[in-house]
Amino acid sequence: MSSVHPGFVYLVGAALVAVSPAWARRPLLLIVPVLALGAAVTVPEGVGGALSLAGYELHLLRVDVWSRLFGLVFAVIGLLGTVYGLHARARGPHVAAFAYAGCALGAVFSGDLLSLFVWWELMAVASFFLIVGRRTEAALAAGYRYLLVHAFGGALLLAGIIAHVLAGGELGFGALSASAGALLILAGFAVNAAVPPLHAWLPDAYPEAPVTGAVFLSALTTKTAVYALARGFAGDELLVWAGAIMALYGVVFAMLQNDIRRLLSYHIVSQVGYMVCGIGIGTPLALSGAAAHAVCHILYKGLLFMGTGAVVQMTGRSRLTDLGGLARRMPWTLAFYAVGAFSISGVPLFNGFVSKSLVVAAAEREHLAIVEWLLSIAAIGTFLSVGLKLPWFTFLGEGRGAPAAEPPGNMRVAMAAAAGLCILLGVAPGLLYGLLPHPVDYAPYTWGHVLTSVQVLAGTAIGFFWLLDKLRADRTVTIDTDWVYRRGGTLLMASCRAGGTAAAAAAAVVARAGASLFERALGEEPPTALVGRTGPWVAVSLLLLTALVVLLA
């Protein structure tokens, strides 16, 4: 294929933005995402970008209906996110965002597991720089924790790929059969998909990112994992239950949050649960539902992060206990946020209603009543906290004296475009259905479905106002599974200080073991540079894993 890889457009764009003078930066910031979107639309189906490594054929560009869909929506959110952040003068977050988008596109267009792994790790590094963009102490700490967790996930993925290849599996990225290697790969994907208990990095890191970077973060890492799960593990029953539990876990923890972006972060966990569940069900309707929900989620979650980001940007506050009464001074922001909130809540005529219905209908058709109930209760919790609690205590409740005004024009343009897409896909689901991997034989707009949905939403709103006093946010933070590695990390550091030599020796042994495994997997003439780069990552991750196991035991 002679077409341009959309990911490379972003990577070249990142390099150009990094070296461009200030006057050229804004035009570049607009041109690069438009070109990448054009590349994602026009790149022809097929396999290309072939490389040969140690006798293995690698494919950097595999275009089919799955990669096209994810590539397209990544490119769309890349454009919207860039417009949203156009006013930002700092160069670093723009470069990191472009590199991050380029790596995410590289991952979804990868035709083999090794290319996927390389993009996967580069994506983690690029997103780290996006998270620490504010350069606060909290952002740096969260960024390092994020990087360690993702290095651990990457190590699992690499170990899984090695085991898979050693067992005679293909390096090409397709459906993976049950084996030890596949299980490790699944675990690696689960880290990025934020499947509990491997999810805490997400609500830990995303709220610390700059408001412009959070739009990219909310869209790319978890959805790349959803894409990878759909590719490799469609129909795996484990994912049905993991997804259903995720959906409920996210909404329950979201109820405890005081920080508005952390609240939304827990709802990423919840919404990705719907997708994971759909992938686990594995029927054509469920897979299309998962893909549709990924597309819709990227749009409405990006919009929600834009809306809350505008609040944080204009007020300097992010806690519900410090906010309130902003509707009069930020009416457009409230309107755009409301579109995102209605979409995620599954209100008819908004895109989430269509995509969520596909996943729930797939569960119903497979007679998975418990799963259907869990997903339905999660939907209630989503409307309760994102559709009612957050806007009530941020925009509509009593004011707390926060200085506020509408955000800059570029932020409003991006929010308007995202809101328009949410409504467009909600009123014309055929546009969405046309992009999905399987034909969809489900009509969301029947009297029965619309009327029952309206009843659930009205019932939830009645419950909200009935329990309004209990729903007031408290000035608290929540303990989640990150406590294990926060506490474990502290103990590990203390033990390293006490016996630094022993730890270094253990790291060297583990690094050598990792390198040796890698060499055996790739043949007699290993690419030593690659081993040199990955070995320390493997060592650090395995050391962390060992420490966790010891602590848990």
Partner 1 sequence: MMRRMLALWATAVLAAALQWALVPPGPEVPWWHAVPGAQAVIGVAGCTAIVLVAKGLGRLGLARRDPDGPAAAPDGVSRW
* Closer residue to partner 1 in complex, CB, 142/229: 142
Q: Which of residues 331-370 bind partner 1 (CB under 8 A)?
A: 364, 369
What's the gap between Cα 176 and its chain centre? 22
258 is an interface residue for partner 1 by CB under 8 A: yes
What does the alpha-carbon distance between residue 221 and residue 309 come to, in Å, rounded to a whole number?
19
* Closer residue to partner 1 in complex, CB, 14/374: 374
376 is an interface residue for partner 1 by CB under 8 A: yes
What does the alpha-carbon distance between residue 57 and residue 54 come to, in Å, rounded to a whole number?
8
Among 69, 113, 139, 417, binds partner 1 (CB under 8 A): 139
How far is the CA of 500 from the CAs of 144, 417, 494, 547, in angstroms?
Answer: 20, 54, 9, 15
Cβ-Cβ contacts under 8 Å for 292 (sequence gap 6 or more): 354, 355, 358, 432, 433, 436, 440
Q: Which of 418, 270, 258, 415 is nearest to 345 (CA)?
A: 270
Among 238, 327, 380, 423, binds partner 1 (CB under 8 A): 380
Q: Could you check whether the bond before residue 403 is cis, i.e. omega within 30 degrees of 0?
A: no
Query: Stretches 233-241, 248-256, 328-336, 404-412: which one binds partner 1 (CB under 8 A)?
Result: 248-256
* Closer residue to partner 1 in complex, CB, 114/471: 471
Least distance to partner 1 from the beta carbon of 463, Å? 3
Among 41, 451, 504, 550, binds partner 1 (CB under 8 A): 451
Number of residues that bind partner 1 (CB under 8 A): 62
Site string for partner 1, 397-436 (x = CB under 8 A): ----------------------------------------
8-state DSSP, 198:
S
Q: For 404, phi and psi rounded to 5 degrees?
A: -150, 150
Give the 3-state DSSP-derived string for 518-534, with helices as H, strands as E and coil as C: HHHHHCCCCCHHHHHHH
Least distance to partner 1 from the beta carbon of 543, Å? 15
493 is an interface residue for partner 1 by CB under 8 A: yes
Three-state DSSP class for residue 246: helix
Query: Stretches 151-159, 189-197, 379-387, 518-526: which one binds partner 1 (CB under 8 A)?
Result: 379-387
How far is the CA of 515 from the CAs of 266, 510, 518, in angstroms?
Answer: 37, 9, 5
Other beta carbons less than 10 A from residue 204's beta carbon: 23
Least distance to partner 1 from the beta carbon of 150, Å? 16
* Closer residue to partner 1 in complex, CB, 69/269: 269
Least distance to partner 1 from the beta carbon of 428, Å? 23
* Closer residue to partner 1 in complex, CB, 125/141: 141
313 is an interface residue for partner 1 by CB under 8 A: no
Least distance to partner 1 from the beta carbon of 375, Å? 11
* Closer residue to partner 1 in complex, CB, 50/458: 458
298 is an interface residue for partner 1 by CB under 8 A: no
Q: Which of residues 452-481 bind partner 1 (CB under 8 A)?
A: 452-467, 470-471, 474-480
Among 252, 396, 416, 427, binds partner 1 (CB under 8 A): 252
> Interior CA angle at 141 toward 140 and 143, to 5°?
60
Instruction: Name the one residue in this structure whose structure tokens are 């996110």.
Output: 81
Other beta carbons less than 10 A from residue 166's beta carbon: 13
Which residue intervals of 234-392 are DSSP H helices? 237-255, 260-281, 284-315, 331-345, 351-365, 369-382, 390-391
8-state DSSP, 395:
I
Beta bridge partners of 58: 51
Least distance to partner 1 from the beta carbon of 325, Å? 17
- Interface positions with partner 1 (CB under 8 A): 136-139, 141-142, 144-145, 207-208, 251-253, 255-256, 258-259, 262, 318-319, 364, 369, 376-377, 380-381, 384, 447-448, 451-467, 470-471, 474-480, 482-483, 486-487, 489-490, 493
